[in-house]
Amino acid sequence: MQSGIKKLILAGGGHAHVHVLSQLAEQRPADLDVILASPYPWQTYSGMVPGFVAGRYEAHECQIPLEPLVKAAGARWLPGRVTGIDAQSQAVRVETGPAHSPEEHALYYDRLSLDIGGVMERDRLEQTIPGAASHALLVRPIEVFATLWPKVVELGQEKPVSLAVIGAGAAGIELVFAAEQRFRQTLHPGSRFTLVTGGGEVAEHYPAGVRKRILRRLRSRGITVLREACTAISAGQIQLSGGASLACDAPVLAVPTHAPGWLRETDLALTDNGLVQVNEFQQSVSHPNIFAVGDVSHRVDVQHPRSGVFAVRAGPPLHQNLMAAHEGTPLKAYQPQKHSLNLISCGAGHAIASYGPFHAEGGWAWLWKDHIDRAFMERYTLEKHLPPEPAEQGGEES
C-alpha cells in the first residue's frame, strides 16, 4: 500500500453518499483515495418512484447517475455489492459480476462508510410469505422494481388487472395510489386495487388525522383495504391470514425492509434486528473507523424513523465527520431533527402533508413534493459536478 495515502470506501450509493461525493468533487484531500462500491450505476431516488409508477416521471428522471459524480470526486467506482466486512484486517468483501458466478474482491480501508439502505432478502421473505420471491414484484432493490414495473403496465394494456400492494406504510400507500391512477387514466379500465396491511392499520405510524385522510382518499379511489396479513403468494393469487384468497395478477411487496443478513457475520455492534449501531457522529459504536447512515443504521442516542428524509439529512454531517476523521480533528455531533415534513403522494397531483401533529392535503402539497424531489435530483446531477475543463480534480464546483 502507498504510504501516506488513506483509503476511504463508500459502500452504497445511497442518499447520504451522493452528498459526500458531491462535496468531494468540490474538495478532496490529496492524500485520500476514495472508492464507491455500489451495484448499479445510478441511485434510483425512491421519493419519485411512485410518480414514475403513476406515469408522471420517466425512469431516467428518477435516477441519479453515480459515475459522473464519482469521476468529479476523483474517486473510483467498483460496480459491485459489499457482502462482508473483516473489521480486524480492515477489509470489505465486494462481489462483482453476475450473481450466479460473482467475482470476489477484498478491499483494504482506513475508513469505511455504509449507506446501503435496507433490503428484502428473498430467503427471509420466503420464510414468512412462501412464494413471494418468485411471484411478487418486490420494491427492493428499487432499481430492479423500476425495471420490472413496465411489465405490469404492459399487462394492464392487455386486460383488466387485479393488483395488490402488500404493506401499508408510506411506500405501499403511495404505490397503490400511483398504480390506481396509472391504470385508471391510461390503461385497461376495470382493474382492481387492494392494499393489504399485514393485519394492522393503514399508515399506523402516522397521526390519526393523517390516517383518516389516507383512508378517505383510498375509499374515494375505490381501493380496497384488507387488514390481514399475506401468508403466501402463488401464480394468480395471494393467501390471506383470515383463510381467504384473493385473485391477484400483480402482487407488489412493499413490506418494511431489514438489514442485510451478512452484517451478522461481522464483528460490528448491531441492534437485535441487525442494524449497525452508531453514535452521535454516525460512527459505529464498536469500530470507530466505520461510519453508517440511512436505513442500515441505528442511532443509539436518539430515535428517528428510517426514511429517505433522515438519510438525506445525514449527508452533510457524514461528510464533515469523514473529513474530520481523515484529518484527525474532532468529530462533530449530529442531532437529527425531531419532526420532519412528510409528504405522502396519493397519485401524481395530490398529496397529504404532515409535520408533527399538523396535517393538510391538496394539489399544492403534491407540487411542493415535486419541487423538493426535483431539487434533490438537480443538486446531484452530472453537469453540476463535472469539473470545468481543464480543471484539476478537487477544484471548485462549476
Q: Which residues bind ligand FAD (CB under 6 A)?
A: 11-16, 37-40, 43, 46-47, 49-50, 81-82, 115-117, 139, 141-143, 171, 174-175, 260, 294-296, 306-309, 311
Specify the 3-state DSSP secondary structure of 318: helix
Min. distance of Cβ 229 from ligand FAD in angstroms? 19
The single residue listed with the C-alpha cell 442516542 is: 301
Residue 169 CB, nearest distance to ligand FAD (Å)?
8
Q: How far is CA 284 from CA 15, 100, 112, 271, 303, in A?
A: 19, 32, 10, 12, 16
Q: How far is CA 228 from CA 63, 163, 300, 338, 350, in A?
A: 34, 16, 33, 32, 27
Q: Which is nearer to ligand FAD, 115 or 370 (CB)?
A: 115
Report in angstroms how near the CB of residue 244 gets to ligand FAD at its nearest: 27
Strand order of the β-sheet with 224-226 is 137-138, 250-253, 162-166, 192-196, 224-226
CB of residue 245 vs ligand FAD: minimum separation in angstroms? 26
| Shortest spacing between CB 57 and ligand FAD, in angstroms | 12
Q: Three-class SS of residue 85?
A: strand
* In the complex, minimum distance from the CB of residue 276 to ligand FAD, in angstroms, rounded to a whole number: 11
C-alpha 97/C-alpha 102 separation (Å) is 5
Alpha helices in the chain (DSSP H): 15-26, 49-53, 66-72, 122-128, 132-135, 142-158, 170-186, 208-220, 308-313, 315-327, 363-379, 382-385
Residue 158 Cβ, how far from ligand FAD at the closest point, in Å? 25
Q: In angstroms, rounded to a whole number, what is the distance separating the alpha carbons of residues 113 and 115? A: 7
Residue closer to ligand FAD (CB basis): 139 or 353: 139
- Give the nearest distance from C-beta 36 to ligand FAD in angstroms: 9
Shortest Å, Cβ 334 to ligand FAD: 15
**In the block, residue with C-alpha cell 462482508:** 84
Cis peptide leading into residue 387 (ω within 30°): no
Find the angle CA(369)-CA(374)-CA(377) to the nearest 5 degrees.
130
The answer to whether the peptide bond before residue 29 is cis (omega within 30 degrees of 0) is: no
Shortest distance in whole angstroms from residue 30 CB to ligand FAD: 26
Of the pair 18, 187, the CB lying nearest ligand FAD is at 18
Count Cβ atoms below 10 Å from residue 289 Cβ, excluding itself. Answer: 15
Nearer CB in complex with ligand FAD: 12/387: 12
Q: Give whichever of 309 and 346 is closer to ligand FAD, judged by the CB atom.
A: 309
Nearer to ligand FAD, 123 or 389 (CB): 123
Name residues whose C-beta falls within 8 Å of residue 24's C-beta, 6 or more positions apart in sequence.
34, 73, 74, 75, 319, 394
Is residue 284 within 8 A of residue 278, CB to CB? The reply is: yes
Compare residues 149 and 281 and give the one whose CB is closer to ligand FAD.
Answer: 149
Instruction: Name which of 97 and 330 has its Cβ closer to ligand FAD.
Output: 97
CB atoms within 10 A of CB 199: 14
Measured in residues, the chain has a length of 398
Report helix, strand and coil shares of the chain as percent, to nearest 5. Answer: 35, 25, 40
Q: Which is nearer to ligand FAD, 92 or 233 (CB)?
A: 92
Nearer to ligand FAD, 11 or 164 (CB): 11
User: Least distance in Å: CB of 261 to ligand FAD?
Assistant: 11
Residue (156 or 315) nearer to ligand FAD, CB: 315
Distance CA 314, CA 122 (A): 29
Question: 321: closest CA among 291, 287, 284, 285?
Answer: 291
